[in-house]
Structure 1
Amino acid sequence: MKDRILSVDIFRGATIVLMILVNTPGTWSNVFPPLLHAEWHGYTPTDLVFPFFLFIVGTSIVFAYSNKTIDSSTYKKIVVRTLKLVGLGLFLGAFTVSFPFVKDFADIRFPGVLQRIGVVFFFAAVLFLNFRWKTLVGITLVLLVGYWLMMTLIPVNGMEPTLDRAPHNLANWLDVQIFGTHNYKADYDPEGFLSTIPSIASSLLGIFTGFILLSKQEKKATILFGLGGAMLLVGHFWDMVFPINKALWTSSFVLVTAGWANIFLALIHYFTDVKKIAFGSIFRYAGANAIVVYFLSSFISKLFYLIKVNADNSIHSWLFNTIYVQGFLSLELSSLLYGLSVVAFYCLLAYVLYKKKIFIKV
């Protein structure tokens, strides 16, 4: 694409690489704290990864659909892509290695990462195609403020609403009513129904960044950096009344993560697009087949956990305990080295696909 901006490709690829790293430690029992999600309120570097991807989905929408003729085929492509993403996510949730290779219906998780990406992409793309930027700003504010008011004012089963991990947390309660047993946990799902509303705002904020990158503005990196700083400031102030929380995808979480996304993207844009300093090519390769690389990593990781080498070990645990657990290494470092090896494999795969000009559209 002639309007393609290198920094966006690098940012997308780096996000996918980080998603794989935090999802595939050698053992979940021994992980360095920055590579784990926050227990509940607050955030760690790991909590930035998924919202970064939704953010860059919005930015990519601007590049994909700006200055193009929009007709029924455009909407058809959006719907088809949405269904593909949701279908792949449901497949990951339902698949098992024993015949008939599908879990019992009650054990299948309906929400998930790819499902959320699909739904967010659909709404963000449709909104982008139908509204100008000023209207999109208003929609974003309505989503964020409306979610805040719903979560803090609407009683649940006659009880005062709470933002704790509890049955009368509105998002948790609603997920149980809608999905029943098809949730990540009995009392919450990090990709649940209600929290999808503010996650759409994460992508809309990425759309505004796309507008800036495609504009004729000078010093785009400075603008993005300042915008990111403002979002961080507002998000942390909002945290005092609506805590930053990934599992609930709170409005303060949306602003803080979009703030960091703008800051990191501004830095990458400055060095690659402005100063023309060559770096991060491996991330660009990963970004070119981002969804495919993520799906394969998730599917193969699941196989490694499910397939047994012997009575005591799956492929995953056998590889980790045999190769990476060594007396001179801490278990945390061993766990990290396993994750980095997985990342290296998928970066190599992405490189081969890129060099062979194989780009799989999802």
Structure 2
Amino acid sequence: MSTLKNRYLSLDVFRGIDVALMIIVNSPGNWETTFSPLLHAEWNGFTLTDLVFPTFLFVVGNSMSFSMKKYEEMGNSAFFKKVLKRFAIIFLLGFLMYWFPFFENGQLKPLAETRIFGVLQRIALCYLFASILLHYVKTKTAIIFSVVALVLYHIILIAFGDLTLTGNAALQLDTWLIGPNHMYHGEGIAFDPEGLLSTLPAIVNVVAGYLTGKFIQKNGQNFETVAKLMMVGFALVFAGLAWDLLLPINKKLWTSSFVLLTSGIDLCALAILVYVLDMKKAKSWTYFFEVFGKNTLFIYLLSELFVISLFAIKVDGGSLYGWIAQNVFVAATGGYMGSLLFALWVMFTCWVVGYFMDKKGIYVKV
């Protein structure tokens, strides 16, 4: 637990909006009756849901633009100790989350069948590599690295496989490195959308967030800053759509075009929030999202464990998750609206916990 440091309000609100949306898209009452913007694109393409995770990485980078100042005053030994500790904790929490509830049919769930990579693991890896990069290099070099990483990833995808679910280079590396039993099976085959190879372009989302945060801190919250952020954001969106002609926008492969598109959208969204909240002071509506933004990691983990627990509890031959969704929400409002209301219920339940933590001044950090 720690006391929050002063940051610009738009960052906490942006992070909070993203966490709220992440909980909603991760916990529909029924995936068969879910509004299409709340589903990932099946393969190539882009939906609102596809924006959630890269935005999370973007705000990780944005937050790093504050913390790295302190790290710069440390020696290299203290810096690596701090960064490696945070990496290890976040990665381990992600792994334990997939292993949870640890026991099945009275026996310990086998580690040999537990997913290794995932959302928190990708956040940990991107944080680690971006921290080391940004600790040692200047802005220009970080931009050059980002360009090289995206071009290199494009070349690897084309040279070592195709762009299909079953033949892509990311799948080949993960299959060789960790084996099918440790991978995500939600696509119908062993394929991990948060695997090792596609972590390379995802690091660029963190770098984009960091450079954005540094720019705002250096130039202040004014019309010129907002205008420049919007112009760069639009340029990245255009570049991403242009790159889509050569390498399709694909969240599950985390293609280079996907990185540019999402980074551009995030830049524009943050610019709008800086204008509305930090310049115009129109913040009467923000507290709901600030609650999520102040305890981001804890509330995300809480939401995942809550959902996993609801699935683990058996009721009428199914799960408590499905029973509540079907008998409370779907029964009252129909399939699509009931599915959405169930997800909102999960999100609001987690918010209530965050609300009491905020009122008690409890902020969980790693």
Q: Give your verdict on TM over 0.5.
A: yes
Q: How does 1:1-362 map to 2 (within 5 A)?
A: 4-66=7-69, 68-71=72-75, 72-96=77-101, 97-98=103-104, 102-154=108-160, 161-166=161-166, 168-180=167-179, 181-185=181-185, 186-216=189-219, 218=222, 219-278=224-283, 279-310=285-316, 312-326=317-331, 329-362=333-366
What is the Cα deviation at residue 322 of structure 1? 2.0
What is the Cα deviation at residue 23 of structure 1? 0.3
Q: For the residues of structure 2 that align with 1:74 and 1:80, how far apart are their CA atoms?
A: 10
What is the Cα deviation at residue 235 of structure 1? 0.3
Q: For the residues of structure 1 that align with 2:174 and 2:308, how far apart are their CA atoms?
A: 25
* Paired letter, 2:257: S
Worse overlay, 178-187 or 240-249: 178-187
Q: For the residues of structure 1 that align with 2:234 and 2:107, how far apart are their CA atoms?
A: 48
Kept in 2, the 8 Å contact 1:94–1:102? The answer is: no
How many positions carry a matched residue from both structures? 353
Q: For the residues of structure 2 that align with 1:102 and 1:52, how far apart are their CA atoms?
A: 35
- Superposed CA offset, 1:24-58 (max 9, x none): 01111211100000000011000000000001111
Which runs of 5 or more structure 1 residues have no equivalent in the other structure?
155-160
Kept in 1, the 8 Å contact 2:11–2:270? The answer is: yes
Residues 43 and 116 of structure 1: is their aligned pair in 2 closer, same or farther, counting only changes over 3 Å?
A: same
Deviation beyond 3 Å, 4+ runs, structure 1: 99-102
What is the Cα deviation at residue 100 of structure 1? 6.2
What is the Cα deviation at residue 173 of structure 1? 1.2
Aligned to 1:158: none
Q: For the residues of structure 1 that align with 2:296 and 2:110, how far apart are their CA atoms?
A: 30
Task: Give identity over the alignment, percent.
Answer: 38
SS in 2 for 1:232: helix
Q: For the residues of structure 2 that align with 1:145 and 1:274, how far apart are their CA atoms?
A: 37
* Paired letter, 1:182: H
> Between Structure 1 and Structure 2, which shows a larger proportion of helix residues?
2
* Paired letter, 1:339: A
Residues 171 and 355 of structure 1: is their aligned pair in 2 closer, same or farther, counting only changes over 3 Å?
A: same
Q: For the residues of structure 2 that align with 1:224 and 1:152, how far apart are their CA atoms?
A: 32
* Paired letter, 2:251: K
What is the Cα deviation at residue 193 of structure 1? 1.0
Worse overlay, 346-355 or 94-103: 94-103
Kept in 1, the 8 Å contact 2:330–2:337? The answer is: no
Kept in 2, the 8 Å contact 1:3–1:63? The answer is: no
SS in 2 for 1:200: helix
- Superposed CA offset, 1:86-141 (max 9, x none): 10111011123436664223321111101111111111111111111011011111
RMSD: 1.5
Q: For the residues of structure 2 that align with 1:100 and 1:236, how far apart are their CA atoms?
A: 51
Kept in 2, the 8 Å contact 1:15–1:49? The answer is: yes
* TM-score calculated relative to the size of structure 2: 0.93
- Superposed CA offset, 1:306-358 (max 9, x none): 11134x1311112112211226x330110000001111111121111111100
SS in 1 for 2:263: helix
Residues 291 and 100 of structure 1: is their aligned pair in 2 closer, same or farther, counting only changes over 3 Å?
A: farther
Which runs of 5 or more structure 2 residues have no equivalent in the other structure?
none
Worse overlay, 213-222 or 106-115: 213-222
Q: For the residues of structure 1 that align with 2:365 and 2:6, how far apart are their CA atoms?
A: 19
